[in-house]
Amino acid sequence: GCDEGRASSAGRSAMASRQVLRGVTVLALEQAVAAPLCTSRLADAGARVIKVERPGIGDFARAYDAFAQGSSSYFSWLNRGKESLEADIKDPADRALLRDMVADGTVDVFVQNLAPGAAARAGLGSAELRELNPRLVTLDISGYGEEGPRAHYKAYDMLVAAEAGLCSVTGGPDAPGRVGVSICDITCGMNGYAAVLQGLLAREQSGEGASLKVSLFDSAAELMAVPYLQQRYTGSPPARVGLSHPSIAPYGAFATRDGREVVLSVQNEREWAALCGALGLAADDARFASAGARLAHRP
């Protein structure tokens, strides 16, 4: 089962600690990061999450590493508090079991992020399941959406980050960089979590379920809104500036006299005045008297 990966409750939100989703059952055909993150948040909020895993193999994230006392750090992080159900979706008996769980109302939410079309080919597509249970809330997580020339592509975090432009604004002047965590997967999973909550709320009001869809690429593209607007209206893309900020200063890591580094983030005039007061500097120096001036005169 997945319960051995249960993490500390220290980081859970107040909403989750109240178990507001107790009584909600989630059936998840999931793997890797995006969908497991979504359903882990549902589990934190009290939902019963039944994670379907392939016989003898399980979620391939189980083999990502062995850093968590011999277990995968990714799997431990994302699958705490869930139940693991070993089932082969290509096997008629196992498939019938899963469909029956939907048809008899056991399942409130269905989440899947298998390869494009895999769930539907197995008779477990969201549209088909909602015919069995119109109150079902379904969430399909894909790489590039349900339509278009890339709809059939598998997706991986760094590839999506590069394609969406995220790598072009990450790193230093000499080379692009990768965000240190699986940011596209994480963002997509959180978008999926929000979508499911909206679907459940809408069901309480209408009595009907919902068909919800999110993708890694759309999630990454949303993260690029500010760089896009800068490019669109100034004609110049934001520069890669490492820990610094392309449009705010002082912002980043600064060397100290004793050879260490401190990180500063000043985002308004009140904070600038406070910093100058702490350092014994003149806050009204014309070179630094406004956000634009500070940006123009940063070293």
Q: How large is the average pLDDT for residues 33-61?
A: 95
Is the CB of residue 59 less than 8 Å from the CB of residue 141? Answer: no
Can you give the pLDDT at residue 5?
Answer: 47
Q: Does 245 qualify as catalytic in the annotation?
A: yes
Instruction: Give 11-20 pLDDT, tens digit per residue.
Output: 555 555 678 9
Please tell me whether the overall predicted TM-score, pTM, comes out greater than 0.95 for this model: no
User: For residues 133 and 103, is the Cβ–Cβ distance under 8 A?
Assistant: yes
Closest C-alpha among 85, 57, 87, 60 to residue 75: 60
Q: What is the pLDDT of residue 12?
A: 55
Instruction: Give the pLDDT of residue 32.
Output: 94
- Banded pLDDT at 8 (limits 50, 70, 90): very low
Which amino acid is located at 6 in the chain?
R
Tell me if 4 sits within 8 A of 26, measured CB to CB.
no
Tell me the helix, strand and coil percentages in the chain, rounded to 5: 45, 15, 40
Give residue 241's pLDDT.
Answer: 84
Q: 25 and 50 in contact (C-beta within 8 Å)?
A: yes
Catalytic position from the list 54, 150, 245, 298: 245
Amino acid letter, residue 198:
Q
Res 244: pLDDT: 83
Per-residue DSSP letters for 110-138?
EEE--STTHHHHTT--HHHHHHH-TT-EE
| Residues 47/22, Cβ–Cβ less than 8 Å | yes
How confident is the model over 45-62, as a mean pLDDT?
94
Q: Tell me what the pLDDT averaged over the chain comes to.
A: 91
Q: For residue 154, what pLDDT is reported? A: 87
| Rounded alpha-carbon distances, angstroms, from residue 36 to 29, 65, 154, 221 | 9, 17, 17, 21
Short-list 163, 162, 143, CA closest to 153: 143
pLDDT digits (tens, 9 = 90+) for 169-217: 999 888 998 899 999 999 999 999 999 999 999 999 999 999 999 999 9
